[in-house]
Structure 1
Amino acid sequence: MILWVALLMFRFWLGLNGTAAESTGLERIKKCETRCSQGLNCKTKPDYVFSPPCENATEDLNASSVFHNISLSTVMSCEGRQKCSLHLRIKTVLQLTESIHGLSICTITAGMMMNCRILSFTRSSRERMSGLQVEVENDCTDVSPNQQVQVMLKTIPSYCGLTWSGTYNAPECGSEDLRKHVPECITGRLSYDVNPRRKELNVSVSDMLEDHNYYLRLCYKGFICSGTGASALIKKEDPVKNAALPYSRPLPCLCIEGWSTVTDAPRVQVCPFRDRLEELWFGVTFDPLEETLSWESACPVTAVATLCQKRGDGACVDLPHASQNVSRGKITFTEVDPHPQLCVKFTAGSQSWTRCPFVGRFQAWEVVVTRQEGHEEVKMMSKISATFSVGLCVKSGGPAVCQITKTNTVHVEENKGVGLNLTEEPCNSCVQVRRLDVKYAATIIHCLEQCNQSHPTTSRSSWGLTWVVVLAGVCLSGIIIVTLVLHVLLTVDQRRKQNRNGDEKQIDPALHCVVPVLQTHPHRGILIPGSLQCGNAEKANLISE
């Protein structure tokens, strides 16, 4: 019983959903026709574009008094599941008088001539219904999806100033009803799987236009979708509508495009990697001769590119006046110092990505530190002729904060070095270097690791380390000596045991006798070994004192 009730409720729910789905679609008609109010006989015939000039109307006739409740809508007629067409339905309420014999309906679409038809009323019916409001409806005007139509209504005969005009936009192909049944809107449905290992997109096509082949291709979407060269043709007789399309990079503008092999067929596009913005920020190039850094997006994107300096904590601090908006064109930064800490930060919306093009590549200059005789020698080495600002500073606060004490300008020739005399500078001093002959440069801070003279603390530390090494050596030597002595003693003991066992084995068992040598007798007698004889009748003489 419960199962039966559940089945009824499920069928009821399906019926409601089906009714709702049908209500969202267009009204179906079997054929186009003209309909008038009951009792009013009307006939349709073509009208001529060049109609006779209008007549003067009486004072009681005007557009607002004659035309009422004009409505324009779209209906659909079908000859098969995928063979439906759209029609414009024009409906109006007309105030009928004896001077109005009929109605003229004209439509104009872009690139087409005006199309007019006349709805004429028979004399007997209009005389019978004169003074009444009658309803007139016609749905024989063909329209295309998303087409704009201009509609004009006039009375017959045509009276001057007695005209109504309006504009109507037919529904777009985005409607589910049109995408399934109108050939101009049937694009097919695309589904895909990404194979990143093989760099392939496996595409499946469904609901394609019947009795037609289908094209697939990969393209980069912009103002137009330019092809990448990867394409496939799916034959209408193929039982499985699948194809594999190879790709090189998962760019956000890389799309799959499909369409039927008919003239002016609508196309459908799906973009599998539309959220992969991080793929756009590669390809930053640098021209060392022109000292120009450039980048061009492979896809249209709205972003901001900014030069920044990478700090030790991973943050990238923007350089002043070093930002450009990214749209379609190529961005270029001129007079750029190629240093590993100089990077490009791309910002799109609330996300940012940093690319450092000079890491492990061309570096124009560097600060070289050598240690000789207890002090550090600092040199500026450059592969190009350049001018630098060299400032002495003391660290205070964060890693990028250094208080300048004095500044000098240093010029370095190509492939040469210039020494910086820092022998008289206090301990823990730093050098802040920045290139001056370019527009965009990183500011580099290098701090001395040790003072130029030796310190007591350093001497005490060295002596302490020496004592530790000496004690460790003595302990290790003692352990080695004790180990060797024990080894020698064990070896000697083992050899003695082996000799004793060898002597015992050389005695004849038949002559063997056991006599305690020099054993003291209880009566203070002594057994003399020389007087003993071995055998069954052997006796020992007791020698008294």
Structure 2
Amino acid sequence: MILWAALLMAHSCWALDGAAAGSTGLERIEKCSTQCSQKLRCKSKPDHLFRPPCQNLPEALNTSSSLHNISLSTVMRCEGRQKCSLHLQIKTVLQLSESIHGVSICTTSPGTITTCQSVRFTKASRERMNGLKVEVVNDCTPVYPSQQVQVTVETVPSYCGVTLTDVYQAPDCSGEDLRRHVPECITGRLSYTVNPEKKELSVSVSEMLDGHNYHLRLCHKNLICFGTGANALIKKEEPIKAATLRYSQPLPCLCIEGWSTVMDAPRVQVCPFSERVEELWTGITFDPLEENLIWKPACPVTAVASLCQKRDDRVCVDLPGSPQNVSREKMVFSEVDPHPDLCVKFTSGSRSWTRCPFADRRLQAWEVVVMAAEGQRKVNLLSQITATFSVGLCVKPAASHECHVTETHSLQVEKHKAVDLNLGGKMCNFCVQVKRLDVKFAATTTDCFEQCDESPDVRPAVARRPAGNLTWVIPATICLAGVIGVTLVLHLLLTVRQKRKQKENRVRSSRKKIDCALDCVVSGLKTQPIVHGKVLLPDSTQSENTEKANLISN
């Protein structure tokens, strides 16, 4: 009994699910037909497009009461799970009389031929139901998803002024019922997993159109979806409907597109990285000859781009006159000084991102440095190009990011030449503010000198001076290594030579001790080297005794 109750409950649940699914879908019909009100017998047949002109309305008929209204909807007729077609269902209400023998229903769509159907009432029905309101339903007009149809209903015979006209648009393929059952709407369902390390998308397809192969590809979605070159074909006989597609960058407009291999097949798209807007703020380029900063969005985006200067507290302050609206076109900032503190700020909605294309300092055109010469320390402006600068002395209060300028000078700096900023003897506890004047957009730098250091080395004015050209370091390192190597080799040779001399001296000394005739001469021969640094040198007196010993032994 318990099992039977469970089965009964399950059957009830399935029945409810089916009813719920049917309530959200289109009405089904088994076949197209024309139906009239109960007890009213009617027949339908194709009508001629070119009918005779309308007749004058009889006095017994009323223009407003003959045809009351017209109602249009879409129904679905199915021959299989994925073999359903759409039909336009037309309902009209009219007041029956002996002068009205039926109705004519005509439909037309843009680019198609008008088709008409005539619905006739039998004479006996007209006489029996004279003066009553009757309903006529016809659902034999096929339509396609999103098709627009104009419907015209007239009386038979056609009386002037007794006409109803309405325009109807069939539902599109966005409805779940159509996407599952109408071939023109079946796109398949795509699911995916992302492998960011390998930059791969594993795509699975379900509910694809039966009996057809399936295309997959990656594309960049704009007005249309432009392919990236990554594509795959899933065969209809393959048991596992899946493929792997490789991508280069996770852009928000990068989408997976799928469609069946039929003419004018609808396509489905899913975009795995639609939220990765930050990926758009790359690809900024700089033309050093024209001094143009260029950026083109890889995807359509609504944003504002502006130039800003990065402060020490990492806040980027917008430069006046720089904001530009971004859409699909290339963005160009003209006459830009490529300074490390100059950045590009992108703002989209309530979020913003900052990119600093000159942060690596490879393109920095000028810098402020401190140089020592003849015991004097000088603040110089070095430039890789000929340019005009504004230089000012300023006072920077504690805990403030702004410097109050006390005096300003304009100067021309030649290419590859250092210019003394001539600070009037102020060598410490001051700030200098420099900005390039011959461009449209430039950063204003403030360099402060807090200590007086008389070191003869050349050093940057501030810690953010670029690394500069370090090509001299490699040759200097090689030379230093060579000197150290030669010194070690010489030291080794001298040490070996000295040890050999000591050994020879000890051998000669032992021989002379055996010869009793030479005892008085050999008694003073013991070599004691004197250490000077890291090289062993013999004492001068002992060297003379050694020479005498050599002469005697010979």
Per-residue displacement from partner, 1:343-393 (whole Å, max 9, x unpaired)? 000111111111111112201111111246776421011111110010100
Counterpart of 1:435 in structure 2: which amino acid?
A: R
State the shift of 1:102 in Å: 0.8
Shift of the alpha carbon at 1:425?
Answer: 2.6
Measured on the aligned residues, the alpha-carbon RMSD in Å equals 2.0
Name 2:17's counterpart in structure 1: 17
**1:279 alignment partner AA:** E
Q: Distance in 2 between matches of 1:135 and 1:237?
A: 50
| Greater shift in the superposed pair: 399-408 or 138-147 | 399-408
Q: 1:384 to 1:426 in 2, by over 3 A?
A: closer
1:388-403 superposed matches below 5 A? 388-396=389-397, 398-403=399-404
Query: What is the match of residue 122 of structure 2?
Result: 122
CA contact (8 A) 2:392 2:406 kept: yes
CA distance, structure 2, for counterparts of residue 62 and residue 47 of structure 1: 25
Aligned to 1:295: 295
Q: Could you say which residue in structure 2 is the equivalent of 1:504?
A: none
- CA displacement, residues 49-85 of structure 1 (integer Å, 9 cap, x when unaligned): 1111111113553553122242111111111110000
Give the alignment of 1:178-217 within 5 angstroms: 178-217=178-217
**Aligned-pair CA distance for 1:398:** 4.5
**Residue correspondence of structure 1 range 38-437 to structure 2 within 5 A:** 38-59=38-59, 61-360=61-360, 361-371=362-372, 376-396=377-397, 398-425=399-426, 427-437=428-438
Q: 1:426 to 1:9 in 2, by over 3 A?
A: farther
Deviation, 1:177, is 0.7
Is contact 1:388–1:410 with CA below 8 Å preserved after alignment? yes
In our comparison, the structure showing a higher alpha carbon Rg is 1
Separation in 2, partners of 1:363, 1:221: 37
**Distance in structure 2 (CA, Å) of the matches to 1:3 and 1:46:** 57
Distance in 2 separating the partners of 1:63 and 1:177: 41
AA aligned opposite 1:396: P
Report deviation, 1:97.
1.1
SS of alignment partner, residue 320 of structure 2 = strand
What does the per-residue CA deviation read over 1:404-436, in whole Å, with 9 as the maximum and x for residues that have no partner?
A: 110000110111110112252374210000111
The gaps in structure 1 that reach 5 residues or longer are 455-545
Cα gap change, 1:96 to 1:365, in 2 (>3 Å) = same
Q: Give the Cα separation in 2 of the matches to 1:60 and 1:398.
A: 98
Change (3 A) 1:132 1:285: same
Unmatched segments (≥5 aa) in structure 2: 456-554
Distance in 2 separating the partners of 1:86 and 1:131: 35
Change (3 A) 1:355 1:99: same
The one-letter code sitting in structure 2 at the alignment partner of 1:307 is L
- Give the aligned partner of residue 28 of structure 2: 28
Counterpart CA distance in 2 for 1:42 and 1:330 is 67
How far did 1:124 drift?
Answer: 1.7
Identity of aligned residues (%): 67
C-alpha distance in 2, partners of 1:107/1:233? 41
Distance, in Å, in 2 between the alignment partners of 1:63 and 1:333 is 70
Distance 1:6 1:128, change over 3 A: closer
Distance change in 2, residues 1:181/1:437 (3 Å): same
Secondary structure of 1:240 counterpart: coil
1:9 offset after TM fit, Å? 5.7
Partner of 1:458: none
**Cα distance between partner residues in 2 of 1:261 and 1:163:** 45
Query: Greater shift after overlay, 370-379 or 182-191?
Result: 370-379
* Paired letter, 2:125: S
Is the CA contact 1:394–1:428 (under 8 Å) kept in the aligned structure 2?
A: no
CA contact (8 A) 2:372 2:454 kept: no
SS of equivalent to 2:301: coil
8 Å Cα contact 1:252-1:299 kept in structure 2: yes
Q: 1:374 to 1:201 in 2, by over 3 A?
A: same
What do residues 260-283 of structure 1 show as CA deviations (whole Å, max 9, x unaligned)? Answer: 000010000000111111110001
Counterpart-to-counterpart distance in 2, 1:344 and 1:272:
27
CA distance in 2, matches of 1:162, 1:413: 92
Q: Are residues 452 and 193 of structure 1, via their aligned partners in 2, closer, same or farther at CA, if it must alter by over 3 Å?
A: closer
The question of whether the paired residues in 1 share the 8 Å contact of 2:395 and 2:406 is answered with yes
CA pair 362-229 structure 1, distance change in 2 beyond 3 A: same
Is the deviation greater in 68-77 or in 271-280? 68-77
Q: Please give the TM-score of this superposition, normalised by the length of structure 2.
A: 0.79
Work out the CA distance in 2 between the residues paired with 1:311 and 1:12. 70
Q: Distance in 2 between matches of 1:309 and 1:67?
A: 75
Q: Per the alignment, do residues 446 and 62 of structure 1 end up closer, same or farther by CA in structure 2, a change over 3 Å counting? A: farther
Q: Are the equivalent residues in 2 in contact too, given 1:63–1:164 (CA < 8 A)?
A: no
Structure 2 counterpart SS, 1:321:
coil
> For the residues of structure 2 that align with 1:338 and 1:365, how far apart are their CA atoms?
9
Aligned equivalents of 2:62, 2:291: Cα separation in 1 = 77
Deviation at 1:440, TM superposition (A): 0.4
Partner of 1:446: 447
Residues 375 and 451 in structure 1, CA contact (< 8 A), matched pair in contact too: no
Which residue identity is paired with 1:434? K
Q: Which moved more, 1:324-333 or 1:443-452?
A: 443-452
Conservation of the 8 A alpha-carbon contact between 1:392 and 1:432: yes
CA–CA distance in structure 2, aligned partners of residues 405 and 105 of structure 1: 90
Counterparts in 2 of 1:300 and 1:41: CA distance versus 1, 3 Å:
same
Greater mean deviation of Cα atoms: 5-14 or 194-203:
5-14
What is the deviation of 1:18?
Answer: 2.9
Q: Contact 1:61–1:162 (CA<8 Å) still a contact in 2?
A: no
